[in-house]
Structure 1
């Protein structure tokens, strides 16, 4: 069920298929926009009970696939919420599994947040190689940054023993977890642009950072994010962020 974590920001904890047939913790973030509508970022498993609870918070108006790995439950939400607008990162609609799933994407995300989302959410597109992108959202009123796979911060006690060992070898365990090496490699294929986007995220000075897998950063968000993005930022000459948050440049 949805749990509030800040004004107009909610999270839903779920599970996703993982390595060796196991499951990984997975998280959906729900943002209530200024007009009262809901935006579902990286929708997790659908249930009628969850839909009813969310509808008590606002109209489910936007479904967002923030990268090419986090779309698999969108078709179920789309069928249940036929008036919702679906958004995906560029190139997602061309992927064969997406076409076979029956998911229809209304619009591709651009470099800035769509006007339909109002003026409280900023978007930073983090580019990677082979067409991979991750759309990061920043809810300015609450200082909440919403990522997907740019950070992986698994809690060892909450994953199976073998996966725990692999996660540790990959550097993907709390408190300063990083994505697995193959994900880091994808972003490093476009390292200058990806690093520039990461610096923009830090300059937002988020108070909290939510992502799809593992222990999210409930406080001290900018410093925690800087630690988890060391694989992308080290050597980039980044020394800090402004003392006050401002709307990110489009």
Structure 2
């Protein structure tokens, strides 16, 4: 079931196995002041979770925030057919089955600009990920660009987390670092994210950092954010 993080902010984790590695991923749910719900990076939704979401508000937006986090977006859209479906730039070509998909643009959508701020993480075309800042809870919401594997991942998962540099603290995984194609563009995006006054960071894999969160992201981006 959904677990509360802060007022009007919840999460739900989902575990699965990829190439023998136990992976934990997360959906984040934001409730706007008018009661509408914004689902970031959907995971499988059981009937009890669907009922819980309905009890919290009206699911109005379903967001596949990158080209790598989209597997369950279609299922969520079918569960809540009245919601608008959004996806990362380029996802429509990868998932033509996601009917009615709205591309996430470089600027914040007016439909949620009063609640959220957005930075498109440039220079990382494999993901086309966007970062989000929930203003009311002062929370940074990320997908893959920063990770900290804190869940029990088994021996293989622990070894993978150590190899990618995300086993002991929040970091930009080595896999993501190697995927950066434009370091200047990525640095500009990192600086824009660090300009937000967030006090908490929620990432898909799989930590929630609510102590010295801004400093943790600064350390994660060290060497990648560049100068002003």
TM-score by length of 1: 0.86
Pick aligned residue for 1:112 from 102, 107, 110: 107
Output the CA distance in 2 between the equivalents of 1:118 and 1:206.
Answer: 17
Q: From the two aligned structures, give the one with the greater helix fraction.
A: 1
Counterpart pick for 2:227 among 225, 237, 244: 237
Residue 231 of structure 1: how far off its partner (Å): 4.7
The number of residues matched between the two structures is 228
Q: Structure 2 CA distance, aligned partners of 1:12 and 1:203?
A: 27
| Cα pair distance change 1:130/1:176, threshold 3 Å | closer
C-alpha contact (below 8 Å) 2:171/2:217 kept by paired residues: no
2:28 and 2:115 map into 1 onto residues whose CA distance is 15
Conservation of the 8 A alpha-carbon contact between 2:31 and 2:37? yes
SS in structure 2 opposite 1:56?
helix
The 5-angstrom pairing of residues 82-101 of structure 1 reads: 82-95=81-94, 98-99=95-96
Matches of 1:105 and 1:160, distance apart in 2: 39
Structure 1 residue ranges without an equivalent (≥5): 239-250
Q: Give the CA RMSD over aligned residues.
A: 1.6
After TM superposition, give the deviation of residue 151 of structure 1 in Å: 0.8
**Stretch deviating more after TM superposition (128-137 or 73-82):** 128-137
Q: Displacement of 1:105 after TM fit?
A: 4.1
What is the deviation of 1:174?
2.6
Please list the CA deviations of residues 179-238 of structure 1 after superposition, one character each: whole Å capped at 9, or x if unmatched: 2x2321222x111111111111111021000010122212221101111222522xx136
Contact 1:42–1:64 (Cα < 8 Å) also in 2: yes
Separation (CA, whole Å) in 1 of partners of 2:101 and 2:38? 14
State the partner residue of 1:200. Answer: 192
Q: TM-score, normalised by structure 2?
A: 0.94
Deviations along 1:19-44, one digit per CA (max 9) or x if unpaired, are x2333111110001122100000001
DSSP 3-state at the match of 1:113: coil
What is the match of residue 8 of structure 1? 8
In structure 2, C-alpha distance between the alignment counterparts of 1:69 and 1:78, rounded to whole Å? 17
Question: Is the aligned partner of 1:166 residue 2:160?
Answer: yes
Structure 2 CA distance for partners of 1:22 and 1:167, relative to 1, 3 Å: closer
Residues 105 and 229 of structure 1: CA distance in aligned 2, closer, same or farther (over 3 Å): farther
After TM superposition, the structure 1 stretch with the greater mean CA deviation from structure 2, 110-119 or 139-148, is 110-119
Do the aligned residues in 2 keep the contact of 1:154 with 1:177 (CA within 8 Å)? Answer: no
Decide whether the 8 Å contact of 1:67 with 1:89 is kept in 2.
yes
| Cα distance in 2, alignment partners of residues 147 and 24 from structure 1 | 16
User: Secondary structure at the residue paired with 1:117?
Assistant: coil
Alignment partner of 1:51 is 2:55? no
